[in-house]
Amino acid sequence: MSATPVYDSLRAQPRTFVDGIVAGNLTQADAYRQAYPNARNQRSITTNAARLSAMERVQAAIQERRDARASQADVTAETLLREVLAIARGDAHPNVKLRAYDQAAKLIGAYVERRETLTVNVDTKLLDDFTLDEMLAFREQRRLKLIEGESHAIESGEETGTATDPEGAREGSGEG
């Protein structure tokens, strides 16, 4: 009897999709492209990849393959958690301990890392014309404007969606 009966029951293309997901280096869309090389329409690829990924048999096959890989490597989430907690509770440097607790929280699902990227284009020639005090004053003015804008939004009900703006409502509703 096979160690991966659900995976083995899948056809070749869904198995290729599962392998791409389990390998951890492909997105759903990339795994779908690998499994279905003739697919060309990006919207269809994205939609079909999400549908395929949502299928119970595919989800079960993904978990089955992950479990099989973990057992081959003799690594489970439990053993990882034990090792990380041993580091966190040991005599390591405080930064190492903090990082270990961070990893433990991720392993148990208590912490999800979110990143936000902000790109700002700045003309360096312009910055050279300002002194440090002028830059700090500008930053403070900007901070105060942001705070003022937030308080204005809260007072007018924009944050909760209760503000009434007849012109904005007409534009957003598609009328007029």
Give the pLDDT confidence of 108-162 residue by residue, as tens digits: 777 666 666 666 666 555 666 767 777 778 778 887 877 777 666 555 555 444 4
37 CB-contact burial (10 Å; exposed 0-12 / middle 13-18 / buried 19+): exposed
Cα–Cα distance between 112 and 103 in angstroms, integer?
10
pLDDT above 50 (res 76): yes
pTM above threshold 0.75: no
Q: How confident is the model at residue 36 (pLDDT cuts 50, 70, 90)?
A: very high
pLDDT value for 128: 65
CA–CA dist 8, 44 (Å, integer): 26
Which H, E and C letters describe the chain, residue by residue? Answer: CCCCHHHHHCCHHHHHHHHHHHHCCCCHHHHHHHHCCCCCCHHHHHHHHHHHHHCHHHHHHHHHHHHHHHHHHCCCHHHHHHHHHHHHHCCCCHHHHHHHHHHHHHHCCCCCCCCCCCCCCCCHHHHHCCCHHHHHHHHHHHHHHHHHHHHHHHHHCCCCCCCCCHHHHHHHHCCC
Rounded Cα–Cα distance for residues 128 and 121 (Å)? 15
CB atoms closer than 10 angstroms to residue 14: 19
Both tokens of 135, joined, read: 């830059």
d(CA 45, CA 48): 5
Q: Is the pLDDT of residue 15 over 90?
A: yes
